[in-house]
Amino acid sequence: MGTGKRRPLGDRYQLISPTGRDGPGIIWRAHDLRLRRDVAIKEIQPLFRADGADLDGARRRAMREARSAARLSHPAVVAVHDLLEEGGRLWIVMELLEALTLKETVAHLGHLPVHWTAWIGFQLLGGLRHAHGAGVLHRDINPGNILLTGDRVVLADFGIAALNGDPSASTTVPLHCAPAYVAPERLRGLTASPAADLWSFGASLYFAVEGRPPYPGSDSLAVLGEAVNRDPDPPVKAGPLRRVLEGLLRRDPSDRITADHAARLLSAILRMEGVAVDPPRLPAARLPPDSFAR
């Protein structure tokens, strides 16, 4: 049945067309009839088990994603407007961004120049520091979740986000997560942390400037084995970014550079390249207990 015959979700949102996937969900372009603006709506699809669809799991995942993203307000984090349940399905209403992912951009260009990569990293790190300052861990940063709009860099898909220190958060890495962008300690079953997000952030910048992931290959099991057992290959195209990448991709999370340190290094690279940026600042939110800053 065509989407034109659908009744508006919540008597407010008219679905127009699907635009892609976001983890285990479908993204729709839709129109908010009340505010008369287009929005993006993520339809959360349940995972299937031997005894059928995991509807309760889908509901928990939708609530976690919406609540995690909704507590954040930063240009580098996708804005969440609404959450509704209808017809046994969960729907998250978000801002609509006309954007390419970092993954798509690198696929078109081969790799990005150092100053582009540094600018993307500096903008994205602002959103990540804001999230960590609010106690939110993303846990799935990769080039497919980084959106480039032309004047914004936006982190999307908080589908497996968790609150820092939440004992109920699973330590299992979901199957849809690309192992080349998951911190080694998480692949070994340890709890996610801000440092693990920073490893994934560094792996995404490595992909941008090198044109390939830190552990290349199409065999997920082989990539997983390499990611657990060895350091990434040294970057060869990164130039002054090499210091940032090597600091972020240290296997021991306690040795990894902090977000503040990475922000200072990236801003220095941009100034050296003649790109004006504001000095890096600490997040406005108070850091949570058990602060990860060194």
Q: Which of 4, 1, 24 is nearest to 16 (CA)?
A: 4
- Residues in contact with 218: Cβ distance below 8 Å, sequence separation at least 6, in sequence order: none
Q: Residue 105 is which amino acid?
A: T
Mark out the alpha helices in 13-145 (DSSP H runs). Answer: 55-70, 102-109, 114-133
Q: Which residue out of 22, 140, 157, 197 is catalytically annotated?
A: 140
80/176 same-domain check: no
Q: What is the DSSP letter of 286?
A: P
147/21 same-domain check: no
119/244 same-domain check: yes
Query: What CATH number has the domain bearing residue 162?
Result: 1.10.510.10
Distance (Å, rounded) from C-alpha 180 to C-alpha 171?
Answer: 17
Distance (Å, rounded) from C-alpha 190 to C-alpha 227?
Answer: 14
DSSP class per residue in 224-254: HHHHHHSPPPPPSS-GGGHHHHHHHT-SSGG
Note if 290 is an active site residue: no
Instruction: Write out the chain's pLDDT in tens, 294 residues.
Output: 444 467 899 999 999 999 887 666 788 999 999 999 999 998 877 654 444 455 666 666 667 667 777 778 899 998 888 888 887 788 889 899 999 999 999 999 999 999 999 999 999 999 999 999 988 888 889 999 999 998 899 998 775 545 444 444 444 444 455 788 989 998 888 888 999 999 999 999 999 999 999 988 767 777 777 877 888 999 999 999 999 999 999 999 999 999 999 999 999 999 988 887 776 664 444 444 443 333
203 three-class SS:
helix
Q: Is residue 259 part of a domain?
A: yes
| Residue 229 belongs to domain spanning | 100-272
75, 95, 115 — which closes off a domain? 95
Query: What CATH number has the domain bearing residue 70?
Result: 3.30.200.20
Q: Is residue 84 part of a domain?
A: yes
Report long-range pairs for 228-231 (Cβ below 8 Å, ≥24 apart).
228/184, 228/187, 228/188
117/62 same-domain check: no
147/216 same-domain check: yes
Distance (Å, rounded) from C-alpha 146 to C-alpha 140?
Answer: 10
